[in-house]
Every structure is written in structure tokens, then in C-alpha cells.
Amino acid sequence: MNRDSQTHIGLVGRSRSRFPILFWILLTGLLGCYNYVPTDFTTVPVGEDVRLFVNPGDVPELSEIPVVGDLTPVVQGTLVGMEDDAVVVRVPVARRQQGFHTLSLGQSIRVPHDGIISAQLRVLDELKTVGVVSGTVAAATVLIFVGLEIINPVPTTPGDDPPEFLLNLFSIPIG
């Protein structure tokens, strides 16, 4: 294998590695485009992601967690059920990966209504999402055009006009 074919293979390998990087940038940006908005926990539909600020004395599952200073414990997870006097939230505690499949292991915590100080619902922020996606696309476009200019620069001669400036204003057919 000569040097030219090795260089060509190296360039192909580098161009392939850009797509996973772009994919992970978009994925990371989209995952960060969520906000938590205050809500009434009784109106949250089952299956939505919630964040509950709770009183540790009213939640038996949290009684073993030490509270330091004025910090309020937070239960963050997916609402899996509503009972008459409590909500059940599934909190992720670990992840297990089997090949390409990732399984999230969780624990269901029963939080009494009296123990909830405030509740927040996780919602998609459209403005942030559009900003991150458009910024990423703009940055990728700039990188592509800068890369094309570096790889294939246009040769210019000092005395010649570029072909874009040569215009035929009129022509007279002879013969």
C-alpha cells in the first residue's frame, strides 16, 4: 500500500467519525432542553416526570437519609400511580447495560400528600430546543464550509478578473 492510499483511508476514517460526534452533540442538547415548572401534583398524569420537594418526617422511605441544615429532600422520578392519600414515584437508582440495551433499575417510593411541600412537572422548553438545534446546525455548517476551504482552496491570480465579473452586455453576430 503506497502513501497516497494510506492518506485517503485516513481521510475517510476521519470524516466518518464526525457523524457520531454531531449525533451526540444533538442528543446532549435535546436532553438538556427541559425545565421543571411548578404544578399541582394531583393534576399530573401518570407516566410524567416529576420533582417533589418533601418533608422527610412524613415520608417513611426517606427517614434514613440525614438532612443537613435547611436542605429539603427531593424525590425525582416518574409518577407511576395516584392513591387516595399518596402518590407513587419511581426513582431511578441504577442502570444496567446488556449489549445496546440499557435497563434502568428503579425503586417505587410512596409519598403521602401531607409530606409534599411543592411539586414540579418536567416539560420540554421549545425555545431552548430550537436554539440548541439551530446553533448546532449553524456550527456544523460553518465547520463544513471552513473545512472545504482548507481542503480545496480556490487559486487566484492577481491580474485576472474572476469569471463572475465577466459579463457580455451585448453581442453582435458576424458572418
| 117-164 per-position pLDDT tens digit | 889 998 888 888 788 778 888 888 888 877 776 666 666 555 665 566
User: Does the pLDDT of residue 79 top 70, yes or no?
Assistant: yes
Helices 126-151 and 3-31: angle between axes, nearest 10 degrees: 170
Residue whose cell numbers read 487566484? 156
**Top-confidence residue, 118 or 59:** 118
Average pLDDT over residues 10-18: 47
Q: What are the phi and psi torsion angles at 34 (to 5°)?
A: -115, 150
Average pLDDT over residues 66-72: 68
pTM of the model: 0.58
Which pLDDT score is estimated for 163?
A: 60
Give the C-alpha separation, 49 to 89, whole Å. Answer: 9
137-142 long-range contacts, Cβ below 8 Å, gap at least 24? 140/22
Kindly state the DSSP code that residue 103 receives in the 8-state scheme: E
User: Does the pLDDT of residue 11 top 60, yes or no?
Assistant: no
Q: CA 146, 150, 154 angle in degrees (round to 5)?
A: 105
Q: Where are the domains of the chain?
A: 1-33+125-140, 35-124
Residue whose cell numbers read 474572476? 162
Structurally, at CATH architecture level, domain 35-124 sits in Roll (2.30)
> Which of 52, 45, 43, 48 lies closest to 110 in space, CA to CA?
52
Give the C-alpha separation, 33 to 137, whole Å. Answer: 16
> Which of 61, 94, 95 lies closest to 75 in space, CA to CA?
61
